[in-house]
Amino acid sequence: MLSMPIVDLLERGRQLAARGERVSVLWQEPESLAFVARGREYRSEFHINPSDEVMLMIKGDMRLHYRTPEGKEEIALVPEGSTIYTPAGTPHSPRFPPDAYLLVIERQRRPGEIDRFRWFCPGCDELLHEEIAEVRDYRADPVSKAYARFFDNEAYRTCKSCGQVMPRPQGG
């Protein structure tokens, strides 16, 4: 039977919030991956995806922090109901509150492709740490796992240039 899921995006977002979860995968097919994400209280890393991403704000507004090819941090405001295209390889950090929901559509990872998660010093903007992951199943929530490894290690959060330590998130 041909699978063509129809999903109530607002309801899926509400379910995420009720369960305290971050991600609900809608489908994972060889050429397509779609999920609803709930905002995080604190987001600081820049994700580098090996595929293009299309993001649609279902509820709430997002501030998409991204880095230009020259390494400069910029911010794009994506209001509720709006969409943004993020090309493969663009370091980006979607920042929106936990009561907001985002639809992400991208290509499923190919064998050997690597996702990167980078943190930069809040004082001098030098690279603090990079986590890499081969994402085979997005239901495993690779962002939360990268966060746990980063914030559980003070050496990763300490800038080698200026010595500033990125604080752990409140409650984390």
CATH number for 116:
2.60.120.10
172 belongs to a structural domain: no
50 belongs to a structural domain: yes
119 belongs to a structural domain: yes
Domain that holds residue 113: 9-157
Handedness of CA 29, 9, 56, 5 (dihedral sign): positive
68 belongs to a structural domain: yes
Burial-class residue 171 by CB neighbours within 10 Å (0-12, 13-18, 19+).
exposed
121 belongs to a structural domain: yes
Give the type of residue at 24: S
pLDDT tens for each residue of 102-160: 999 999 888 899 999 999 999 999 999 999 988 888 777 777 888 889 999 999 999 99
pLDDT tens for each residue of 39-60: 987 888 999 999 999 999 999 9
97 vs 39: CA distance, rounded Å: 5
25 vs 130: CA distance, rounded Å: 25
What count of other Cβ atoms lies within 10 Å of the Cβ of residue 28? 15
1 belongs to a structural domain: no
169 belongs to a structural domain: no
29 belongs to a structural domain: yes
Domains: count for the chain: 1
* Residue 165 bridge partners (DSSP): 158
